[in-house]
Amino acid sequence: MKELDTVKLLDDFEGIKAGTIGVIVCEYDGTAFEVEFFDLEGNTIDVVTTPSKLLEVEKSYTED
């Protein structure tokens, strides 16, 4: 996982429901990531430091 990857939350965390989609905005040594989570309309729910074990990559960011 790396910055700008789209990720899915695997378990409820910090009041955010499992399955919520977010984007990694900062990496902390590979064990945790700052993730901006979004609702279904694309509005920001919160920005949360999230352990990597609770995240799954949905789409990897690549520069085109």
pLDDT of 1 higher than 80: yes
The answer to whether the beta carbons of residues 47 and 64 sit under 8 Å apart is no
CA distance linking residue 52 with residue 59, whole number of Å: 15
The answer to whether the beta carbons of residues 20 and 8 sit under 8 Å apart is yes
Q: Taking the complete model, does pTM exceed 0.85, yes or no?
A: yes
Contacts (Cβ under 8 Å, ≥6 apart) of 20: 8, 9, 37, 38, 39, 45
Where do the domains of the chain lie, and which CATH numbers do they carry?
A: 6-59 (2.30.30.140)
Q: CA quadruple 25, 28, 30, 36: dihedral positive or negative?
A: negative
For the segment 20-54, what is each residue's pLDDT rounded down to a tens digit? 999 999 999 889 999 999 999 999 999 999 999 99
